Amino acid sequence: MLFELRGVGLTRAGRAVLDGVSAGIPAGATAIVGPSGSGKSTLLRLLNRLADPDRGEVSYRGEPLAGYDPLALRRQVALVPQLPALLEGTVGSNLAYAAGLAGRELDAARCLRLAGLDPEYAGRDVAKLSVGEQQRAMLARALAQRPEVLLLDEPTSALDHAARDAIEAALAELRRELEIAVVLVTHDPAQARRLSDWVVRLEGGRVAGCGALEEVLA
Amino acid sequence: MIAPAAALSTSIHVSVGQVTASLALVALAAAISYWWKADLERDIGIAAVRSLVQLTLIGYAIKLIFEADTLWLVFVLLAVMVLFGAITARSRADKVPHAFVPLLVALALAGACTLGLVVALGIFEATPRYLVPVGGMVIGNAMTASAVALNRLGDEMHDSRPRIEATLALGATAREAAMPTVRRALRSGMITLVDSTKTTGLIFFPGTMVGMLLAGANPTDAVRLQLILLYVLLGSVSIAALVATGLAYRNFFTPAQQLREPEAGPAAS
């Protein structure tokens, strides 16, 4: 397994957001599904140590995450948040910033193409992009770090159908081109069926199902 | 070095009757508030009484310190000012976790560095007559600047949370992720004094100059002393805002470079 969660619990403001979560996430494409408030985004944030659990343990490639340097881990396990949050400047400067943090050479045109954007977007001011374009620029920025794992938090929740289709096509394309694991949070079972082959289903902060797509979302 | 005979020893006598007469303007302010239902009459009354009591007490304290003519009493007075300044500023920086220590360090450093420099550069003598009034101005302005800066920092950290966390998610350090926010907070702490320094003499006459002119000092001396104080204040305000923001932003992050959860935030999904 790529990630293993064993008895993971997290309490915020007196509420158990995650409670005794035990699940495995293999390399490949995994969807974390469940209704709003079930702890999906919180679980995703545990995977690159944007948060740590109060109880239990998360491991990555067999090693406890607590033993990883959080900065180095985040450059390998990139997270694209639900809402676009680019830095001021151009798309290209955002990509260069991310590549620089990871110590990678930047091939901006390739990253943009993989994210479904034309390379000329590199010179665009991020403030002038639509939400769908910003979301794809966020994806391109994450790819600029050449991560081993891509964590996507509801990547299409704020988008219309056309923009959603474009993002999904980009994700399918980059899965074909790159050997990259994807963990996707979605409230939409249909999207999980289109994009993943493994599913973790949460309800009320607990695991309600974990396994191959056809077993959990039959 | 400022020569006492030329600049500061001029004095005038102000009677209790004159102070009492000036309360007519306080009554006017209260009347305007009452007339326009601004609901500030009580605050105006409290402000008038507090200023009277606090300034009278500090006047006696300064008189004692001047008469004792020992530096340790000056340090005690300035330390008390730093302590109360940090407590006051903390109430305006309520969105910044554990803001008291950054504010205390900021005010202490601003006071120590500024007074140390003006004495080292030979601008003022290291005597109570100079250190008490200049120290009071320095700490007071440093308190305002650091309170404004931390108030802005709290708002900005809240509003910029998604962008800061997205930057952390790329493997940036807390310092790298927070730097644009810290920069804006620092700027807001300094900008008021910078702007008022730009317009001084054109739109308003600063207090020291007015006080010296009223006391009968030579206008040239009044202007020179005012310039020194403005420049000293620019330095102290910058130090205070820099130290306060530079220390306080760290309190938003955990040692694992994670953004701490706000105390009452939206439910996680």
Per-residue pLDDT tens digits for A160-171:
787 788 888 888
Closest Cβ opposite residue A13 in set B167, B254, B264: B264
Question: At residue A123, does pLDDT exceed 60?
Answer: yes
Instruction: Provide, as residue numbers in chain A, all residues whose Cβ is less than 8 Å from the Cβ of B261.
Output: 12-13
- Structural domain total, chain A: 1
**CA nearest A69 in B: which residue?**
B256
pLDDT tens-digit map of A34-46: 998 899 999 999 9
**At CB < 8 A and 24+ separation, what contacts does B227-235 make?**
B228/B2, B228/B118, B228/B123, B229/B134, B229/B137, B230/B197, B230/B200, B230/B206, B232/B114, B232/B118, B232/B123, B232/B134, B232/B137, B232/B138, B233/B137, B233/B138, B233/B141, B233/B193, B234/B193, B234/B194, B234/B197, B235/B113, B235/B114, B235/B117
What's the pLDDT tens digit per position in A183-212?
Answer: 999 988 888 998 899 999 999 999 998 988
Mean pLDDT, residues A138-153 taken together: 92
Average pLDDT score, chain A: 90
Backbone φ and ψ for B47, nearest 5 degrees, come out as -60, -45
Residue spans of chain B under pLDDT 70: 1-11, 263-269
B42 Cβ neighbours under 8 A, 6+ residues apart = none
In this prediction, residue B264 carries a pLDDT of 53
User: In angstroms, rounded to a whole number, what is the distance separating the alpha carbons of residues A133 and A154?
Assistant: 15
Cβ–Cβ below 8 Å for A87 and B169: no
Please check whether residue A87 is in contact with residue B167, taking contact to mean a CB–CB distance below 8 angstroms.
yes
> What's the confidence (pLDDT) of residue B102?
97
Residue of A nearest to B269 (CA): A37
Give the CATH number, domain containing residue A112: 3.40.50.300
Range of the domain at A51: 3-216
Neighbouring C-beta atoms of residue B5, cutoff 10 Å: 7
The bridge status of strand A55-60 relative to strand A63-64 is antiparallel
Q: In the prediction, which pLDDT does B209 show? A: 85
Q: Is A164 on the interface with B (CB under 8 A)?
A: no
* The predicted structure's pLDDT at residue A9: 94
Cβ neighbours of A73 (radius 10 Å): 18
Would you state the pLDDT for residue B2?
Answer: 54
- Kindly state whether A101 is in contact with chain B, defined as any CB-CB distance less than 8 angstroms: yes
Query: What is the pLDDT, as a whole number, of residue A179?
Result: 79
Six-digit token string for B14:
């102000």
Global ipTM? 0.90
Task: State how beta strands A149-153 and A206-212 pair.
Answer: unpaired
Tokens of B119: 């004495």
Distance separating alpha carbons of residues B88 and B125, to the nearest angstrom: 30
Q: What is the pLDDT of residue A178?
A: 78
A158–B contact, CB cutoff 8 A: no
Residue carrying the six token digits 């952390």: B168
